[in-house]
Amino acid sequence: MYASESDKYARLTYRENFYDISPKLFDDGMFRGDITKTENKRCVPTDADVLCAGFPCQPFSKMGKKLGFNDPRGTLFFDIAKIIQDKRPKAFFLENVPFLKNHDKGITFDTIKDKLTKDLGYSFFYKVIQANEYGLPTIRGRLFMVGFRNDLNIMEFDFPKSVPLLYDMSDIFHGKCSRRLGLSIRVGGRNSGINNHRNWDMYLVDGVEHQINLDEAKKMMGFPDDFIFPVSNTQAFKQLGNTVAVNPIKMVAVNIIKKVQANEQIP
C-alpha cells in the first residue's frame, strides 16, 4: 500500500523487482522518498493493517560509533513512532541490529519500548534472531520487535520456531567450503583479504581462495534467483549489506498476519 526509500539506488532496485507485483504502489505515487519529510508521512494510508520499518542501524551497531539517539539517523525511530501514533495500524514490525538491546546500558531500548507501549498503546514482543536459525547459511543477526494495538487484545505472540539449514556454503559455491555458514555481508571492507579481521567476502573453496559473487551472496541471504539488482556491483553489495535476510522476515511476517486475521474472526 505504501513504501518509503530515500536512497536513489535502492529505489531503482525496489521498482525493478516490485512494479509487476504492485503497480498501483508506483502509479499512484505511494512509493515515496525520505520519510522524515512531512509530505511523505502524510501519504501513509490510514487503513493499513501492519506497519513495517527498519530504522538506520549505524547509531546502534557495534561496528559504528554507538551514538544512538545523539546521531541524527538514530532519531528516525521517533518519525516511525509519530506515524504509528497518527495512523494507528493494527500491528507494527520493526527491526534493527542486536546491539540495540544493550545500547547505552539498555536505556535506548527501554525508551523505544516505553514509547510504543506506554505512549502509543501497543503490546511489545521482541527477539534476536539469527538467519542460520531460519534456514539460511549466514550468521546475520537482527533484533525483531512486534506489537499489536491494545484494543485488539492480542496478549501473546509466538516468534516462529527455528528450522534446519536449507543449504550451506558448500551448496552455494558448488564446492567444498571451509565454512558451513557464511560471514555477514557488510557495507565496506570488501577486498580486505581472507586473513584480515575485516574479511567478509573471501572464502576457501576446494582449497582455493574465492571471492563471493553477487548471485552467491544473494542466495546466502535468501533472495530468489530472479531478484534483479539494476545497479553497479558496488551498490548491489551495499544494498545486501544493509538488507535483512529474507527467510526470518517472511516467517515472522506470516505469524503477524495470522494473528491479525485470527483476531478479525473473533465476534
Residue-wise pLDDT for 33-48, tens only, equals 988 888 888 889 888 8
Across 73-77, 186-190, 195-199, 203-207, the highest mean pLDDT is recorded for: 203-207
92, β-bridge pairs: 51, 147
Task: Report DSSP state, residue 75.
Answer: G
The predicted structure's pLDDT at residue 266: 61
Q: Which of 43, 52, 57, 177 is catalytic?
A: 57
Confidence grade of residue 60 (pLDDT, cut at 50, 70, 90): very low
Q: Could you tell me the fold of the domain covering 46-264?
A: Rossmann fold (3.40.50)
Residue 172 · residue 137 · CB < 8 Å: yes
- What are 162-185's pLDDT values in tens digits? 999 999 999 999 999 999 999 999
User: Is 57 part of the annotated catalytic residue set?
Assistant: yes
* Mean pLDDT (whole number) for 137-149: 94
Count of residues making up the chain = 267
Contacts of 196 by beta carbon, 8 Å cutoff, 6+ apart:
none
Largest CA distance in the chain: 63
Question: In one letter, which amino acid is 254?
Answer: V
Residue 56 has pLDDT above 90, yes or no: no
* Mean pLDDT (whole number) for 238-253: 94
The predicted structure's pLDDT at residue 74: 55
Residue 53 has pLDDT above 80, yes or no: yes
The predicted structure's pLDDT at residue 57: 53
- What are 218-236's pLDDT values in tens digits? 999 999 999 999 999 999 9
CA 81 from chain centre, in angstroms, equals 17
* Mean pLDDT (whole number) for 126-142: 94
More confident residue, 66 or 42: 42
The predicted structure's pLDDT at residue 42: 87
Q: What's the predicted TM-score (pTM) here?
A: 0.88
Strand boundaries in 105-213, DSSP class E = 125-130, 141-148, 202-205, 208-211
Calculate the average pLDDT of the chain.
Answer: 90
The predicted structure's pLDDT at residue 78: 87
Domain regions of the chain by residue span: 46-264
* Mean pLDDT (whole number) for 237-261: 94
Q: Name the helix (H) or strand (E) containing 203.
A: strand 202-205
